[in-house]
Structure 1
Amino acid sequence: MLNKTPLWKYLMVIFVIAIAALYASPNLYGEDHAIQISAGRNATVTMQTLQQVEDDLQQANIQTKSVVLDNEQILIRVADSETQLVARELLDSKMGKDYYVAMNLAPDTPKWLESLGGEPIKLGLDLRGGVHFLMEVDMNLAIAKSMEDLVGNFRTSLREEGIRYRTVRQLDEGVEVQFRDQQTLDDGLAFLKKRNPDLLFNEQDNLMLMVTMSEAKLAETRDYAVKQNITIMRNRVNQLGVAEPLIQRQGADRIVVQLPGIQDTARAKEILNATATLDFRLVDSEHDVRSALDGRVPPGSQIVNDQKGVPYLLEKKVMMSGNHIIDASSSFDENGRPQVNISVDSEGGNKMSMGTKGNIGKPMATVFIEYKPLPERDENDKPVFEKVEEIISVATIQARLGGGGFRITGLDSPQEAQNLALLLRAGALIAPIQIVEERTVGPSLGQENIDLGMQAIVWGFALVLIFMAVYYRKFGLVANFALATNLVMIVGIMSMIPGATLTLPGMAGIVLTVGMAVDANVLIFERIREEMRDGRGPQQSIHQGYDSAFSTILDANITTLIAAIILFAIGTGSIKGFSITLAIGIVTSMFTAIVVTRVIINGLWGGKRLDKLSI
């Protein structure tokens, strides 16, 4: 008999709708005002820290919903924004500069739902509020650092090739190599040209060879600096617990950073400025650090203090920079002492192998380098940075390091090993950055956008419901149920997709799919009416109506889906937000309009003797 649906289809539809409703439900619980406390580079968050925070809040008579320690961060939930501000000011003064105390919004999802992976839709900056930064990469220092790497590469490669040279030094305009005689200059020039085809070589007087970068090499260096900084900044922000940041390139040397939900601009700056570089350098054991402190610093060495202010005399030559590190983890050595295991890329492995080959038993320092922006700018209106160096670890080289990785020992505690691993794992910036523009999007503006967007969805939804119920009667009520199911499925899928963010244009995409979702049912119902006008019975009309309209619906939706995919592929920011909700809405509307309504109609009218249809 026509229009009979097998049991498995009923179960499939019920299962899909139930799963969508389950994962859409976290959006009903809203968010709490929260304060997030995370440790800086020289601190840790422990149960003792948690107890201190609870005591400080209790003494100040600040009421909290909960105070929990999770993933090395403390999250404090409070009732309203006023309490949030008071609590943040208190904890900011109590915790000191070694901790990040930032205001945030935390989902109020029940624990049982969180255990199933249920989370509310992540809202973009235009809906949730937060901070927006435009950051500029210092390309001069990026090129200078690349030149510095060339100095080390030239020394190593010429030494391995057996070509004797006098000096290799870095100048403002490039790298200068001085040879011992004309023959070695010719050999060195031929060798370096072969290994570095993208560099320019110019012979000068006094057996000098000036090496500069070609325009193509300069462009590649600048492009790599921006791309690598974006990757490292994203890792650092994620490591520090900022949810769903947007970090993307803008122009040749600028990066846009958006942190939804972060209401404290000053703390957001600290999070971003925590990024820095790392170098591995040998301790100069042949000279006395006390003589260096008296002003007799040997050439090729410099004084660098550790975190406690203890001075060390380090060689200026960098064995390996932190941008070669792939991964790092903390563990214990065979004697139960803390250590950090480091994995590096092939180039970094070769550099570390050559650097440690003849230095077994000597101390090696891990140097943390931070570039702090100064108020003034240079003659090209570019930012000026002050270089600040600090030793975070000094360990003895136990064996020749290289290959896929090595380990750092000599650490004071397991927590220090964990902090160092975290820092190394997050990576090192190729060049320093400076914030050139900042904007704070208040939560009130975000709430206004949400309210207006919700009004558009509700009004559009209501008008479509009324039209369908009046014009198509009982069949219209079935379409209305499918339309409501479609909205639930869009919200549920958006909540399930990792990284999906709802923006204001995304809400426009949902409004658009409301009309598109019912359009398929209009086509089906009109075909059913045509079949009935041609004299076919109700069951035959239903069957022919769905079969005849299917190809038209499929063609129309596939072309729109292709457009949405293209928008997502080539668009940025708000365009991507619109295309995501549009694509999801197209898929769910086809399912609800064709499958869900067919199952319901077959369940209500299928297989029965009917004289007419309420359509």
Structure 2
Amino acid sequence: MKSFTWKGALTAVIILTALVYVLPTFYPDCWPHKKINLGLDLQGGMHLVLEVQNQKAVETTVERTVHELKQELRKKGIKHLGISRNSNNSITATLSGDKNIDGFTALVSDDFNALEIASTVTVAKGKNFVLQLPVQEAENIKRMATEQALETIRNRIDEFGVSEPDIRLQGEKRIQIQLPGITDTQRAKDLIGKTAQLNFQLVDETGNVASATQGTPPPGSVLLYQMKENTRTGQVTKVPFLIKKQVLLDGGSLTDARVMIDSQFNEPYVGIEFDRKGARIFERITGENIKKRLAIVLDKTVYSAPVIQDRIAGGKARITGNFTTEEARDLAIVLRAGALPAPVKIIEERTVGPTLGADSIRMGLMSMMVGGILVILFMVMYYKGAGLIADIALVVNILLIGGGLAAFQATLTLPGIAGIILTIGMAVDANVIIFERIREELASGKTPVASVHAGFSRAALTILDANVTTLIVAVVLFQFGTGPVKGFAVTLGLGILASLFTALVLSKSIFEMTLSGKKTSTLSI
């Protein structure tokens, strides 16, 4: 009796817990828990496949190495005749004089050991050194660029507020993204694809902007544009700027970016903060360049170019640009999440409308109801009273699956509904095995109570074997499957666990309750 009471209490707790988690899906205002998440195919949304241009990450690394190499040579007083990046991402450095050549080779060996000297050619001016990254190092940079892009995009989407996004690597340089429930697809694409490379660079105020727009910018400078929108007419004009190539400070030192409102003009802007090192660099830059213009450049577009009036301490700055509140918020998101290490290209895009998703839900639920009703009728007709117990267990089974989906915040997809329908058949199959065993025991002359106990004990091992092997398959599908396959595996796995519980625990408890204290020689089965 104690054992039965304990099992009954545990069963009641499990069913009530599942009910608590399922309720918000149907009555979202009555309970604080989250509801069952619907997949892209059920609630609509956007499917993207991005390709990370990770070769650009290698180019950026080589460019940065060239800049650092020049700085170190300058510090050590080693003169060179030119250092540049080649189209194949190697570096050519020209030096003359034994002292400079020896100093250069020592510097490369000690401080730039990621580079290897591929060849040395004697020329009229001195010697040409061709440096290059080892193949393994270049591959590591590409791999890390793809992984960093994945994390950056994930951080951006998390801040964007999409429920249950599915973001995963696909191959060596592709990222698959599924955003269920998204409606503003263009805004989402802009947010995901923005490189968000933030730089602070001085404006070249000595060069001629007009001649640069007609020809080639002067050495050491680049022509960039600022987009200005007329708030009255909506017309956008491009304002050209000559910007010095040297990056004084980049977004790598950024610690925060928030939307703020200008008290004077009542317009949104993005306030940014630097870490301790970035704050020191920013203070030095502003102190050394008073009365000069400092351009804030994001993805090779000038957002603002204010005149530095005084040294700015504290590591805070602002980015203005006639933003709407939504544009400022998105810019703050991408700056907080960090820059992409390489540009990304959309190579596949699909949008599922909410109407199609609603049709899928309706048809899926109809299939589940029709299948469930047919099974319920069959069990009652064939097994009579025992069939009714199996039907109660079946309803509880579906409740437990829904509770599991909500509790673990798993995503229900259309194949997931198929998994639930399959589980209905599997759950009844376990009861059929038990009932046939009970019939055999009754036919041998045992009492109903003894027959029920013998039927459950003898069928338990067979049911466990069959369900555990299927559960292993579900785990493998979940681990290695993607998208719809994973959704099917989730509901299949939850369904198997629920079936084991309802067949071996719940059904047995109901039988024991109905037979407890009754001296009957018959059993409705």
TM-score of the aligned structures, taking structure 1 as reference length: 0.68
Find the counterpart in structure 2 of residue 182 from structure 1: 98
Contact 1:281 1:314 in 2 (8 A): no
Deviation string 1:279-328 (CA, Å, 9 cap, x unpaired) is 333436xx646766775976434465667688776542335654x46853
Compared CA separation, residues 433 and 599, structure 1 to 2 (3 A): same
1:442-487 per-residue CA deviation (whole Å, 9 max, x = no partner) reads 3443344333333332233223212322232222211111111111
RMSD: 3.9
3-state SS, counterpart of residue 565 of structure 1: helix
Match of 1:138 in 2: 53
Matched, 1:408 2:337: no
C-alpha change, 1:553 and 1:421, in structure 2 (3 Å) is same
Aligned partners of 1:407, 1:5: CA distance in 2, in Å? 68
Q: Following TM superposition, by how much is the alpha carbon of 1:512 offset from its aligned partner in structure 2, in angstroms?
A: 1.6
Shift of 1:233: 2.5
2:233 alignment partner in structure 1: none
CA-CA distance at 1:430 after TM superposition: 2.0
Match of 1:317 in 2: 246
Matched, 1:328 2:263: no
- Rounded to whole Å, the distance in 2 between the matches of 1:356 and 1:209 is 35
**C-alpha distance in structure 2 between counterparts of 1:596 and 1:511, whole Å:** 20
Residue number in structure 1 paired with 2:413: 503
Aligned-residue offset at 1:195: 5.2
After superposition, residues 285-296 of structure 1 pair within 5 angstroms as: 288=205
SS in 2 for 1:572: coil
Q: CA deviation at 1:238?
A: 3.3
**2:363 is equivalent to residue 452 of structure 1:** yes
Q: 1:423 to 1:538 in 2, by over 3 A?
A: same
For the structure 1 residues 229 and 143, does the alpha-carbon distance in structure 2 shift closer, same or farther, using more than 3 Å as the test? same
Aligned 8 A contact 1:329 1:342 in 2: no
d(CA) in 1 for partners of 2:343, 2:202: 25
SS of alignment partner, residue 243 of structure 1 = coil
Q: 2:168 aligns with which of 226, 248, 253?
A: 248
How far, CA to CA, are the matches of 1:392 and 1:476 in structure 2? Answer: 75
When structure 1 is superposed on structure 2, of 510-519 and 12-21 the one drifting more is 12-21
Cα distance change on mapping 1:595 and 1:180 into 2, 3 Å: farther
Aligned mate of 1:441, from 344, 352, 360: 352
Q: Distance in 2 between matches of 1:518 and 1:161?
A: 81
- Which residue pairs with 2:266 in the alignment? none
Out of 418, 424, 428, the residue aligned to residue 514 of structure 1 is 424
> Which residue identity lines up with residue 277 of structure 1 in the other structure?
A
Decide whether aligned partners of structure 1 residues 444 and 305 sit closer, same or farther in structure 2, where only a CA change above 3 A counts.
closer
Give the number of equivalent residue pairs.
Answer: 491
Deviation string, structure 1 residues 92-138 (Cα, Å, up to 9, x no partner)? xxxxxxxxxxxxxxxxx54343xx123233222x2333333343433
Bigger Rg over Cα: 2
Structure 2: unaligned runs, 5 residues or longer: 229-237, 261-269
Q: Are 1:581 and 2:491 counterparts? A: yes
Matched residues in 2 for 1:300 and 1:456: separation?
A: 68
The one-letter amino acid paired with 2:146 is: V
| 2:12 alignment partner, SS class | helix
Between 579-588 and 168-177, report the one with greater CA deviation.
168-177
Match of 1:21 in 2: 19
Deviation at 1:580, TM superposition (A): 1.1
Structure-2 change in CA distance of 1:357 and 1:26 (3 Å): closer
Structure 2 CA distance for partners of 1:362 and 1:460, relative to 1, 3 Å = farther
Q: Which residue of 2 aligns with 1:279?
A: 198
Deviations 1:29-57 (A, max 9, x none): xxxxxxxxxxxxxxxxxxxxxxxxxxxxx
Q: Deviation of residue 529 (structure 1)? A: 3.0
Q: 2:120 aligns with which of 203, 210, 216?
A: 203
Counterpart residue number, 1:389 = 301
* Rounded Cα–Cα distance in structure 2 between residues aligned with 1:152 and 1:301: 15
Residues 226-246 of structure 1, C-alpha deviations (whole Å, 9 max, x = no match): 333233223333333343333
Aligned counterpart, 2:392: 481
- 1:128-167 maps to which residues of 2 (within 5 A)? 128-156=43-71, 165=80, 167=82
Counterpart check, 1:12 vs 2:10: yes
**The residue matched to 1:361 in structure 2 has which SS?**
helix
TM superposition shift of 1:502: 1.9
- Per the alignment, residue 108 of structure 2 pairs with 192
For the residue of structure 2 that corresponds to 1:511, the secondary structure is: helix
- The one of 293, 315, 335 equivalent to 1:424 is 335
Deviation per CA, 1:490-532, whole angstroms, max 9, x where unpaired?
122212323x222222222112211222232223333333333
Aligned partner letter, 1:391: Y
CA contact (8 A) 1:329 1:418 kept: no
Q: Aligned pair 1:111/2:29, yes or no? A: yes
Matched letter for residue 544 of structure 1: A
Q: 1:229 aligns with which of 133, 145, 149?
A: 149
Give the Cα separation in 2 of the matches to 1:355 and 1:203: 38
Partner of 2:404: 493
Secondary structure (helix, strand or coil) at the match of 1:612 reads coil
Residue 361 of structure 1 aligns with an amino acid whose one-letter code is G
Q: Is the 8 A contact 1:307 1:391 kept in 2?
A: yes
Structure 1 606/393 Cα, relative in aligned 2: closer, same or farther at 3 Å? farther
- The question of whether the paired residues in 2 share the 8 Å contact of 1:4 and 1:602 is answered with no
Distance 1:523 1:118 in 2: 37
**Equivalent residue for 1:218, pick from 103, 124, 138:** 138
Distance 2:202 2:172 in 1: 38
Q: Which of residues 39, 48, 51 is equivalent to 1:123?
A: 39
Q: Deviation string for 1:156-201 (max 9, x for gaps)?
A: 5556777554543333233233345334434433543465555442
Partner of 1:361: 287
How far apart, CA to CA, are the structure 2 residues paired with 1:477 and 1:325?
67
Task: Answer yes or no: is the 8 Å Cα contact 2:36–2:412 preserved in 1.
Answer: no
1:340, 1:420 within 8 Å by CA — same for their partners in 2?
no
Distance in 2 of aligned mates of 1:463 and 1:418: 53
Question: Does the aligned pair in 1 maintain the 2:152–2:338 contact within 8 Å?
Answer: yes
Which string of whole-angstrom CA distances, capped at 9 and with x for unpartnered residues, describes residues 406-446 of structure 1?
94335789x89977653321221222233344333334433
Between 1:474-483 and 1:454-463, the stretch displaced more is 454-463
Q: 1:199 to 1:417 in 2, by over 3 A?
A: same
SS in 2 for 1:277: coil
Change (3 A) 1:127 1:180: same
The match for 2:232 is none
The answer on whether the counterparts of 2:273 and 2:316 sit within 8 Å (CA) in structure 1 is yes
Q: Distance in 2 between matches of 1:168 and 1:17?
A: 72
Distance 1:445 1:412, change over 3 A: closer
1:579 is displaced (CA, Å) by 1.0
Is this contact kept in 2: 1:277–1:430, CA < 8 A? no
SS at match of 1:613: coil
- Contact kept in structure 1, 2:283 and 2:311, CA below 8 Å: no
Structure 1: distance between partners of 2:512 and 2:253: 61
CA contact (8 A) 2:221 2:245 kept: yes
How far apart are the structure 2 equivalents of 1:175 and 1:354?
A: 32
The answer to whether the 8 Å contact 1:565/1:583 transfers is: yes
